[in-house]
Amino acid sequence: MTNSHYPVIGFIGAGNMAHCLISGLIANQYPAKQIWASDPSQEKLDFIQQQCSIHTTTDNEAIVKSAQILVLAVKPQVIKTVLTSLRNLVEEYQPLVISIAAGITEKTLSQHLHHETAIVRCMPNVAAFVGSGATGMFANNYVTALQHDLAESIMRAVGITLWVKDENLIDTIAALSGSGPAYFFLMIEALETAAVELGLSEEDAHLLTLQTALGTARLALSTNEPTAELRDRVTSKGGITEQALAVLKDRKAAEAFKLALRAAHDKSIELSKI
């Protein structure tokens, strides 16, 4: 396939997540010459150009004029300023707009752009940096079937994608997969600490905990069996796993996770309204 068959992707913002997505695209054979990035920081642009050999500029307007797909990778607090300055050009050139700005709803994006702009809102997570991300995606009614596929191909360069028809579910995804890595890091930290207290070295506890977490996730992904059945399979009657799970149930671990997700979900809604 020639470069002409690849739409130009323009990133507004050249921070960590933009770098992550660009690296993922290039690793998946997307032509670097078809990717642009803008940022007020020349240092960031120099770094990403050296790493990825893409086009860079400090001029956001040049990005809009060049790209068929516009990825908003800026901090939420500057999204209004950025979009207001580009509103007329976006209306003229009509790119697909993909936003990875946390907490910024499609309604808010539309208010700062032309009301018929094709917009996809995404909620990626930090695991995208190792190609194992989980991204929730929502498209408004102006996104075409082709644009839908293009948006998915961009985010799939760094992991799995999940489309939702109800944008409110993005808040649930934010609470689950967006914040989820922190929950698992907390669990890993707690298990490591407990193992060290029981005699393992910090290095051995760290290695065994991480490998156990990795193996468990891979095992769950390799089968269609319900998680509860997988748990039962490794829980022998009267064995040590059953004893450990009894303690967790007694301490209401499941209820604690339910409350944690609810708190994160509600905070996501709150932030989107600010």
Cα separation values, 2 from 21, 34, 56, Å: 21, 11, 21
Q: Which residues pair with 4 in a beta bridge?
A: none
Residue in 141, 149, 89, 91 with CA at minimum distance from that of residue 119: 141
E strand or H helix at 26, and its extent?
Answer: helix 16-27
Contact (CB, 8 A) for 103 and 128:
no
E strand or H helix at 137, and its extent?
Answer: strand 133-139
Domains and CATH numbers, the chain: 3-167 (3.40.50.720), 180-273 (1.10.3730.10)
What is d(CA 67, CA 65) in angstroms, rounded to the nearest whole number? 6
pTM here is: 0.90
Mean pLDDT estimate for the chain: 95
User: Which token pair is 43?
Assistant: 């240092």
What burial class does residue 197 get, using C-beta atoms within 10 Å of its C-beta: 0-12 exposed, 13-18 middle, 19+ buried? exposed
Residues 208-264: pLDDT tens digits? Answer: 999 999 999 999 999 999 999 999 999 999 999 999 999 999 999 999 999 999 999
């990717």: which residue's tokens? 35
Residues 77-112: pLDDT tens digits? Answer: 999 999 999 999 999 999 999 999 988 999 999 999
How many CA atoms lie less than 13 Å away from 196 in the CB half-sphere?
12
User: Which token pair is 20?
Assistant: 């992550």
3-state DSSP call for residue 130? helix
Contact (CB, 8 A) for 55 and 87:
no
Cα Rg of the chain (Å, integer): 22
pLDDT-based confidence at residue 1 (cuts at 50, 70, 90):
very low
Report the pLDDT averaged over residues 10-22.
Answer: 96
User: Using alpha carbons only, what angle is made at residue 81 by residues 78 and 87, rounded to the nearest 5 degrees?
Assistant: 130
Mutual angle of helices 180-197 and 202-221, in 10-degree steps: 140
Q: Spell out where 3-114 has E strands.
A: 9-12, 35-38, 55-57, 69-72, 96-99
Residues 113-138: pLDDT tens digits? Answer: 988 999 999 999 999 999 999 999 99
Instruction: Decide if pLDDT at 2 tops 70.
Output: no
What is d(CA 87, CA 101) in angstroms, rounded to the nearest whole number? 17
What is d(CA 206, CA 216) in angstroms, rounded to the nearest whole number? 15
Residue in 136, 91, 99 with CA at minimum distance from that of residue 119: 99
User: Which token pair is 144?
Assistant: 């075409």
- Beta-carbon contacts of residue 100 (< 8 Å; ≥ 6 apart): 17, 21, 71, 72, 73, 122, 123, 124
